[in-house]
Structure 1
């Protein structure tokens, strides 16, 4: 069912005014409000490891930053956002997707379908050059580059899968990402994504 402009405005107003409990992450994904519990230590340590590998002379990295994907009525909150130093606005709650170079999502047992599905399409629709999925359930990274298309049809033309322990060349950042210290989520049923 298509949402009307009025429905979309109401959903955005509701999203912007919702009272979020401490430790809960909230996102607006194509008109749907999604809430998640706070992340596991494995998750946070992976995010920290990726962030520390970004050369700070050229790249700025942000945590829990809302991204504005104008064409999508979406405000996802990636686990990590990487942009050129000084590329974003000085202040504000939303960072335009046009200034983002890479987003990183670390998969949790409840985010598998979102991270590999709707977010892949959303970030491609937002023309974000690189989307890195770090998956501690199956111990691999999926680097997606060369976004194309719009709406639900948006996707990335190039997909590269690397197992934990292998380096991930992120050409758009001119970085070789080391993954040897990435942890694995214990006791979570494996999936078959991407």
Structure 2
């Protein structure tokens, strides 16, 4: 019989992850002890992120791309497509932003990120008690707004889920604004998926 060590690989895996240098144009994340690498995103993806960023007022909110988020009690350092933090809560420096400071994270779904965005990151962000998680899906042409995080670890989830089709406004109460989705692009010739 083979013994299996099922303890979380927090310290060791985080150390290995932080020492890795990804190739040019590759995004790298640590999600529950698994190192995930993805190629650079599509133009549709980048334009959606830019459009969301432009609608969030800089006077009140810091809108950060490629910012690593530290989720306590997790072997995870996700890098959301957009992280929104109150300007007065933003630290002066550091690679890891504590999840307790984050007001909202945004992920734009790509062909290769569907499961991570809808399942894995959903419980990671909920476990980190991030108040709002907005999934923007150019494959299915809709937004999924998740709020009211509850639970711990892999059992964590958002208690409220609202699906809004592209073109309709998304009420982002946590930011005190309504997001215009009418200009969001879509990914043509991509097979639909089964999420959320």
The verdict on a shared fold, with TM-score over 0.5 as the criterion, is: yes
Q: Deviations for 1:152-187, whole angstroms, at most 9, x for unmatched residues? A: 110001101100000000111011000000000111
User: How far apart in 1 are the matches of 2:147 and 2:11?
Assistant: 31
Structure 1 runs, 4 residues or longer, greater than 4 Å off: none
**2:62–2:90 Cα contact (<8 Å) kept:** no
Is structure 2 residue 10 aligned with structure 1 residue 4?
Answer: no
Match of 1:113 among 92, 112, 115: 115
- Residue 85 of structure 1 corresponds to 87
- Residue 184 of structure 1 corresponds to 186
Q: Structure 2, unaligned stretches of length 5 or more?
A: none
User: How far apart in 1 are the matches of 2:160 and 2:34?
Assistant: 28
User: How far apart in 2 are the matches of 1:23 and 1:91?
Assistant: 24
User: How far apart in 2 are the matches of 1:60 and 1:10?
Assistant: 31
**2:10–2:74 Cα contact (<8 Å) kept:** no
Q: Specify the SS of the correspondent of 1:172.
A: coil
- Residue 50 of structure 1 corresponds to 52
Q: From the superposition, tell whether residues 60 and 3 of structure 1 become closer, same or farther in structure 2 (CA, over 3 Å).
A: same
User: How far apart in 2 are the matches of 1:94 and 1:144?
Assistant: 23
- Residue 162 of structure 2 corresponds to 160
Q: Specify the SS of the correspondent of 2:178.
A: strand
Q: From the superposition, tell whether residues 14 and 28 of structure 1 become closer, same or farther in structure 2 (CA, over 3 Å).
A: same
How far the C-alpha of 1:73 sits from its partner, in A, is 1.5
**2:146–2:161 Cα contact (<8 Å) kept:** yes
- Residue 68 of structure 2 corresponds to 66
- Residue 172 of structure 1 corresponds to 174
RMSD of aligned residue pairs (Cα, Å): 1.1
Is structure 2 residue 140 aligned with structure 1 residue 122?
Answer: no
**2:143–2:164 Cα contact (<8 Å) kept:** yes
Q: Specify the SS of the correspondent of 1:176.
A: strand
What's the TM-score once normalised by structure 1's chain length?
0.97
User: How far apart in 2 are the matches of 1:2 and 1:40?
Assistant: 39
How far the C-alpha of 1:8 sits from its partner, in A, is 2.9
- Residue 135 of structure 2 corresponds to 133
Q: Structure 1, unaligned stretches of length 5 or more?
A: none
Q: Specify the SS of the correspondent of 1:189.
A: coil
